[in-house]
Copies of this chain bind each other. A is one copy, B any other.
Amino acid sequence: MSRRSTPKSVVKRLPVYLRILDNLIRRDVDIISSRVLSEETGFTAEQIRKDLAYFGAFGTRGTGYNTSYLREKLLRIIGLDKQTKIIIVGYGHLGKALARYNMVKNPYVKVVGIFDADPAEMGAEVEGLRVLAISKLPEVARESKAKVAILTVPAEEAQKVVDLMVENGITAILNFAPTKLHVPDHVYVHNADLTIELQSLIYYAEEDEKTHQTE
């Protein structure tokens, strides 16, 4: 099965399962039923069984899932069984938050390059890694063979940076710049849009305060 043929909604739930399993293993829980997984995640037990069945059958009927075994499987499925190298371009407040978070708290990734266009930010050190000029991106991306990038530059700079990323081997981009990026078919872009999340939330905050006006 091609990776892209798996429904996006399934792929989005895999890291949620992984986080729950990490927590369970920390609490020495060896076996978990899909019912308990359901309570912890908020997804239905049936949904969970279906999701995991996409990648093979991991549970034992009537007992549940072995937490360590399922975690190992999920790591392999997602591609986190080895540390993924990532680069971060844009070292504003958001870039700083993401750089620090991923270097200190995210064991699954290794930040191999941080870049910014602002000379004032260059040379700054984050956990021993120097912030570099964007002109150094090709060299770092090629030498590290990083495939994943986080983009937090202003909208008007984004496409130029993305072109440079793609030329130098990046195939997956988490984009925080509020603009539509143009990439070749083999490159996957996920737009992480904080305004859109906030606006969806506002919709729910309005509940019961007014009624819809329809034609």
Contacts and interface: CB of A to CB of B under 8 A. Distances in A.
Contact of A93 (B73, B97, B194, B215): B97
A96 to B, nearest CB: 4
A207 B93 contact: no
Contacts of A193: 15
Contact of A172 (B55, B77, B147, B204): B204
Interface string A159-177: 0000000000001111000
Interface size class of A (residues with CB under 8 A): 35 or more
A200 B10 CA distance: 9
A205 B79 contact: yes
A14 B148 contact: no
Interface of A: 1-4, 8, 11-12, 14-16, 18-19, 40, 55-58, 73, 76-80, 84, 86, 92-94, 96-98, 100-102, 106, 108-109, 147-148, 150, 171-174, 178, 180, 188, 190, 192-210, 212-215
The 10 closest A-B pairs by CB, nearest first: A56-B214, A93-B97, A172-B205, A79-B206, A15-B199, A94-B97, A188-B204, A15-B196, A93-B96, A56-B215
